Chain A
């Protein structure tokens, strides 16, 4: 078994287990910590796929930004322990059956087509190529995302402000 396969199975199992903990745990802080492990494992997955820059961005923005925001939200709304799922068992059953069916459908669709493997060593994508693509082919999306970030900044600050008239 190659090292690549070993790392894949290791991080895949971590991702699935911590994803299940994130979704099923009643304690919100534990769920947030499971989400931390999941996001880091996805970053490791990016790393073994040769996308080092994306792995760093994932850790910086997700773990350093989004997760902190979520923990802030949990603590400011004060509902930490034993946050219920839907108490009705029928809802849970329907949701489980529906998502299980969807997952099975996706997996059968994926396994129906031939697998693609690479025997070569993992070549990392040069960051220069990424930057060139950003300012040539995807320039419009890049500029629009800049405008979007400005709008988000103003809107979030305006909404979260405590305005008592």
Chain B
């Protein structure tokens, strides 16, 4: 019987995978993908807790807010990445270490 704990374990695995991606990848866009994994884990957690406890639909509303924030974060991050590529000619987060050329 699948319960709340199954969902929580799944989301902790997803969170750890995303964290691993954020730590180990060099490309800025892949770091962004790891962030998406982490945000999805959090939002799945909220929905699962809403389903298995009686908190009305509050968790789903918070999950909706998370999705909106993730979309705006992706837009800003992509604009920053394009500017970085224009100025440094790569998007390697290890080599971008100066504020001004």
Give me the interface of A with B, judged by CB distance under 8 Å. 2, 4-5, 8-9, 12, 15-16, 19-20, 22-23, 28, 31-32, 35, 38-39, 42, 45-46, 49-51, 53-54, 57-58, 61-62, 65-66, 69-70, 72-74, 76-77, 79, 83-86, 91-92, 95-96, 98-100, 102-103, 106-107, 110-111, 113, 115-118, 125, 129-130, 133-134, 137-138, 141, 145, 148-149, 152, 155-156, 159-160
Contact = CB atoms under 8 A, between A and B. Distances in A.
Given A51-B47, A66-B74, A99-B16, A118 B60 contact: no
A102 B13 CA distance: 9
Interface core residue of A51, A58, A91, A149 (most chain B CB under 10 Å)? A51
Given A15-B14, A138-B65, 18 more contacts: A12-B6, A19-B17, A28-B27, A31-B33, A45-B44, A46-B47, A51-B50, A54-B60, A61-B71, A70-B33, A103-B12, A110-B8, A117-B3, A117-B4, A130-B60, A134-B61, A145-B69, A156-B75
Contact of B82 (A46, A117, A118, A160): A160
A55 to B, nearest CB: 9
Interface residues of B, number: 67
B76 A155 contact: yes
A50 B67 contact: no
Interface string B60-89: 110111011111101110111111010000
A62 B37 CA distance: 11
B65 A125 contact: no
Interface in B1-60: 1-10, 12-21, 23-27, 29-30, 32-34, 36-37, 40, 43-44, 47-48, 50-53, 56-58, 60
